[in-house]
Amino acid sequence: MEFNTKFAAPEKHQVACVAAGVFESRKLSGAADALDKAAHGQIRELLRSGDMDGKIGTTRLLYRVRGVAAERVLLVGLGREKEFGDKEYRDCARAALAAVQETGARDASLYFAELQVPGRDAAWKARQVVLAAADISYRFDRMKSKKAEETSLAHVSISAASKRDAADLERGTREGNAIAAGMTLARDLGNLPANVCTPTYLADTSVKLAREWKLAVEVLEQKDMEKLQMGSLLSVTKGSHEPPKFVILRYAGAGRKDRPVVLVGKGITFDTGGISIKPAADLDQMKFDMCGAASVLGTLRAAAELGLKLNIVGLVPTCENMPGGAATKPGDIVTSMSGQTVEILNTDAEGRLILADALSYAERFEPQAVVDIATLTGACIVALGHVCSGLFANKDDLADELQAAGAESRDRVWRLPLWEDYQEQLKSNFADFANIGGRAAGSVTAACFLSRFTRKYDWAHLDIAGTAWKSGKEKGATGRPVPLLTTFLMKRAEA
Ligand code: BES
Ligand code: MN
Ligand code: ZN
């Protein structure tokens, strides 16, 4: 789907479908009012008849309205004007685009930029429309022998009657496009089955991405990781026949001496649990255990497309977690790259083991901040559900920045504590510490484990176990938290 900005009177815009909003009080938005005037009151008449009451998310499609150049007019219910905020804007844009998509219209023009959303500028509104359109039109049919039929809607205009906000709308559309493309990459990688999306596949995809977007890339092999003494990471791959990889991607948007932001993504391409094997139910969903890695690749793609004036390093430690004769056993003790020893009491707590060494590796970049992204704990889903990701940080400013970026992109996070009091749960009788901390506060103790490898820099951890994919009828990767991370980087680049 393509997007552009268009500045024209809604009644004169020659397009297959023009969409405009109506509030629950039957108050017309500016665009709906202009359409109504051109149509000699036909829209107000419809409202009076009770056929459209402006309830949020409802739509009415009208054909060949007199005086209007577009073939179709789509009225979109905006709900109560006083309650119209971020969520309402996004829901209405989605509802409008979904309704257009059901028609045969090839192009559509949305007059949503004029709707007032407290605290949000025109660029934000454009981004939201583009992201909503990309989301509803996303299909994953690469593994089907018969491809899904293309929907006819191919072109969406982010429209306004005046050119007043032209620059902001154009910028927001461009940003939305870049974020959407990053999300699509992340979703595709997440949705691919684990027999296709192996560590080697993730590394090859990284190399292609680097070539396309002029990033520097390096792929470490098992022997390189052995040289670096990544004993924690390597303990996870031991039961697998797939070779592990460690990808280093570098985007240089600022001066050579500018310290980079480092993103680290968990890339377990399949998590059986290892010897501490998982039960069979829903085990297929453990192909999504590389969604952190996928979000790093998607975010780098977005950052490069936007040409952010910032240096960014992406680290992707990737392997499978399998049982087998050579697999790590509960009770095994390994030495991490940091020199700290870890007693592996549960081989299913493997994400933290690969992240530990990647976080140590991150030190060499003298980062301004490190953010790791991981489908780390089932406990995070128990705590926060599927609405927001868990956020942990060793620095309040960084946590606040990420929280704000999450709110703005509607890819939200909620902070959980990293207090010293929780650290004792990781106590081991045999090694420096254990890789699990018991049933209580499972997401917190996982983050506490990571914190032992991040003492040298500002660090945040995002637990995306509940947000990276959906289960049930709509099973599939969401592309989160690419919007959050890209927004965070955009703000850092401006600062
Ligand atoms: N990848 C899982 C976490 C997960 C589980 C994410 C289900 C989404 C849905 C992770 O590797 C894991 O297995 N974590 C364990 C940790 C436990 C052994 C301390 C968990 O959450 O059960
Ligand atoms: Mn696991
Ligand atoms: Zn896992």
Q: Give the residue carrying structure tokens 């809607």.
A: 153
State the distance from the centre of ligand 3 to the C-alpha of 336, rounded, in angstroms. 18
Q: Are residues 131 and 263 in the same domain?
A: no
Catalytic, out of 44, 120, 259, 278: 278
Report whether 446 contacts 375 (CB < 8 A). no
Instruction: Flag whether 430 is in a domain.
Output: yes
Q: Tell me which residue has its CA closest to atom 3 in ligand 1.
A: 377
CA 413 to CA 403: how far, in whole Å? 6
Asked whether residue 93 is domain-assigned, the answer is yes
Distance between Cα 296 and ligand 2 center (Å): 20
Of 342, 363, 368, give the one whose Cα is nearest residue 448: 342
- What total of structural domains would you count in the chain? 2
| CA 289 to ligand 1 centroid distance, Å | 9
Residue 278: active-site member: yes
The boundaries of the domain holding residue 218 are: 180-494
Three-state secondary structure call for residue 137: helix
Q: Is residue 175 part of a domain?
A: no
> Residue 173 domain-assigned?
no
Query: Can you give the pLDDT at residue 73?
Result: 98
Pocket probe mutation, ligand 1, options 235, 268, 276, 348, max atoms within 8 Å of Cβ: 348
Element containing residue 436 per DSSP (H, E): none
Amino acid at site 299: T
Q: Same structural domain for residues 299 and 372?
A: yes
**Residue 123's CATH number:** 3.40.220.10
- Is residue 150's pLDDT more than 90? no
Structure confidence at residue 454 (pLDDT): 99
Whether residue 149 is predicted with pLDDT greater than 90 in this model: the reply is: no
Please tell me the predicted confidence (pLDDT) of residue 147: 87
From the CA of 468, give the closest atom in ligand 1: 8
Indicate if 146 and 196 belong to the same structural domain.
Answer: no
Answer whether residue 168 is part of any domain: no
- 83 with 189, same domain: the answer is no
> What is the pTM assigned to this prediction?
0.98
In a domain, 43, yes or no: yes
Tell me: do 58 and 122 sit in the same domain: yes
The DSSP code for 277 is P
Does residue 109 share a domain with residue 190? no
Same domain, 305 and 338: yes
pLDDT digits (tens, 9 = 90+) for 114-139: 999 999 999 999 999 999 999 999 99
Rounded Cα distance, 256 and 439, in Å? 45
CA–CA dist 334, 20 (Å, integer): 61
Q: Express each pLDDT in 191-249 by its tens digit.
A: 999 999 999 999 999 999 999 999 999 999 999 999 999 999 999 999 999 999 999 99
Do 438 and 316 sit in the same domain of this protein? yes
Helix (H) or strand (E) holding 459: strand 459-463
Instruction: Specify whether 130 is located in the same domain as 243.
Output: no
Closest Cα to atom 9 of ligand 1: 378
Sign of the Cα pseudo-torsion (371, 376, 380, 381, in order): positive
Q: Using the atom order of ligand 1, give the atom closest to the CA of residue 377.
A: 21
Q: Which protein residues touch ligand 1 with a CB less than 6 Å away?
A: 271, 289, 346, 348-351, 375-379, 436, 442, 465
Residue 139 among the catalytic residues: no
Burial class (CB in 10 A: 0-12, 13-18, 19+), 257: exposed
